Structure 1
Amino acid sequence: MTDRGTPERIPEASRAELSPAAAARLLMRRALKASLATLEASTGHPYASLVTIATDVDGTPLFLISTLALHTKNLASDARASVLFDGTDATGDPLAGGRVTVMGRAVRTARGGARERFLGRHAPARGYADFPDFAFYELEVERAHYIGGFGRIVDLRRSDLILDVGDAQPLVAGHDDIVSHMNDDHAAALALYATELAGAPGGPWRMTGIDPDGFDIVCDGQTCRLPFARRVTTPDEARQELVRLAGVARDRQSHS
């Protein structure tokens, strides 16, 4: 198995086979929520809060927060923060499950794609995203600490988590069009990706984002991450991989 995983189904039981860096990236890509830790402006005490989360094309964590919230006031005083991604929801013993704490600075983002990456994942947020007291933030990742269960504890670098997308600007530029096209015209393929390749239940699955390594889909509060067999950097390369995966899914469906 490569560091980026295999292009087809990755059962939960085999996730331990991923490298720590790949497992941490998977946790970040699949997360809908996370714990944001800031430093309380008045006392300096650590303050942890719950936020909804998304990732940009390169994997940078994104969140939408209000200036009225205590964590935002804390960040205005000291931008140092950490985000805990918890992958232990279905684990009998949570301490045996995977989680990663990502550390850096949380600042208002100037990323052009941040809004649609986040709102594509959290549609209800469209109702308040344009309120004057709300703004999109990103975590400028510096390092991370991954725990994959007992005895599997690894410190990670920024380069382990954040993709270099310098060669993928055509894909970045075409991101929103690709996502809209898949959701508007290929709902059946998205459902097949989920059921046949990710082992998820059926439903109205929607694509929320695509990047050089794969794409993310969501349905009723559940997420799936589908990795590509090869790195893609253009919309045409992405189309080829999406078509290939659809063929794999249909073949599996016909033999089930």
Structure 2
Amino acid sequence: MAPMQEPRDIQNDIHREARLLLRAARVGSLAVIEDEYPAIALVTPAVTPEGDVVVLLSQLSAHTRALDRDPRCALMVSGPPAEANPQTSPRLSLVCDAARSDAPEDRERYLAIHPYARGYAGFTDFGIYRLSPVGARFVGGFARAATLDVERLAPRTAALQDQAACRAAMAAANDGLGARLDEVAARHGGSGSGWRMVALDPDGFDLGREDIVLRVAFGRMLRVYEDALTNLADGATHG
């Protein structure tokens, strides 16, 4: 008997939950293959608009050297538990291929999310690695575990890969909606004024002030980056 398929709207909800969890993650566990056995390390991820993960790693670390020998790896991120039981935490496990990245946009993305790293990111032993998912498993709560379609974890449409449009929308928000950004930051636990949009993707954006970065999710995925301005003006954000 063929396995029962979940309705498409439920699948869409699960993929969206997984995307939002990944994009909001500021820490994760990276598993690598070291001397024929798995080894695990704490990493601080950032997520590109198209859904790949970038991390800053040092060649002095054993897990980095292991990745250079064998690029197969896994990454797990999790959210806060819904109850006292830690097993109620939502979590996403990705199976990935890793590669060193010299792309300026990957480095820019990482430092936008982790600005404190600017103090050491320029050291010669540090480099950006891009983790490209080839498999994904999400647990969103009791009886809500699913193997995901990695192609649906992030959009691949041309409109949402247009980085010039992304930068233009960010500039417009920072130049014309400063007071609104401060209001949004306050709703998400930020204090003071002068918050700026430091990263934008189809699912939300990140507000930065000094070394603090706050994640803000949109109520729905963007169709084009210009919609971010409409969402901000209309208050169409979570939280």
Indicate the TM-score class for this superposition, using the shorter chain for normalisation: 0.7 to 0.9
Q: Is the 8 A contact 1:142 1:157 kept in 2?
A: no
- Offset at 1:109? 2.1
Alpha-carbon distance in 2 for matches of 1:52, 1:187: 28
**SS of alignment partner, residue 25 of structure 1:** helix
- Offset at 1:190? 1.5
The one-letter code sitting in structure 1 at the alignment partner of 2:166 is H
Name 1:212's counterpart in structure 2.
202
Alpha-carbon distance in 2 for matches of 1:63, 1:139: 8
User: Which runs of 5 or more residues in structure 2 are unaligned?
Assistant: 1-7
Whether 1:33 and 2:27 are equivalent positions in the alignment is yes
Consecutive aligned runs of 4 or more in structure 1 exceeding 6 Å deviation: none
The one-letter code sitting in structure 2 at the alignment partner of 1:20 is I
The one-letter code sitting in structure 2 at the alignment partner of 1:200 is H
- Offset at 1:243? 4.1
Name 2:191's counterpart in structure 1.
203
Higher relative contact order (CA 8 A, sep 6+): 1
**SS of alignment partner, residue 235 of structure 2:** helix
User: Which runs of 5 or more residues in structure 1 are unaligned?
Assistant: 5-15, 250-256
Alpha-carbon distance in 1 for matches of 2:12, 2:184: 21
Name 2:84's counterpart in structure 1.
92
- Offset at 1:107? 1.1
**SS of alignment partner, residue 92 of structure 1:** coil
The one-letter code sitting in structure 2 at the alignment partner of 1:188 is A
The equivalent position to 1:167 in structure 2, one of 159, 177, 185, is 159
Aligned-residue CA RMSD (Å): 2.9
Whether 1:192 and 2:183 are equivalent positions in the alignment is yes
- Offset at 1:169? 4.2
Alpha-carbon distance in 1 for matches of 2:51, 2:138: 16
**SS of alignment partner, residue 19 of structure 1:** helix
Identity of aligned residues (%): 33
Give the TM-score, by structure 2 length. Answer: 0.81
- Offset at 1:228? 5.6
Alpha-carbon distance in 2 for matches of 1:181, 1:165: 22
- Offset at 1:246? 2.6
Give the total of aligned pairs.
226
Q: Is the 8 A contact 1:218 1:224 kept in 2?
A: no
The equivalent position to 2:233 in structure 1, one of 232, 242, 246, is 246
Q: Per the alignment, do residues 230 and 97 of structure 1 end up closer, same or farther by CA in structure 2, a change over 3 Å counting? A: closer
Alpha-carbon distance in 1 for matches of 2:74, 2:203: 25
The equivalent position to 2:133 in structure 1, one of 136, 141, 152, is 141
Q: Is the 8 A contact 2:206 2:214 kept in 1?
A: yes
Q: Which moved more, 1:181-190 or 1:148-157?
A: 181-190
Matching of residues 1-256 of structure 1 within 5 Å = 19-40=13-34, 42=35, 44-88=36-80, 91-170=83-162, 172-176=163-167, 178-179=169-170, 182-183=173-174, 186-195=177-186, 199-204=187-192, 205-217=195-207, 223-227=214-218, 229=220, 231-234=222-225, 237-238=226-227, 241-248=228-235
- Offset at 1:175? 3.3
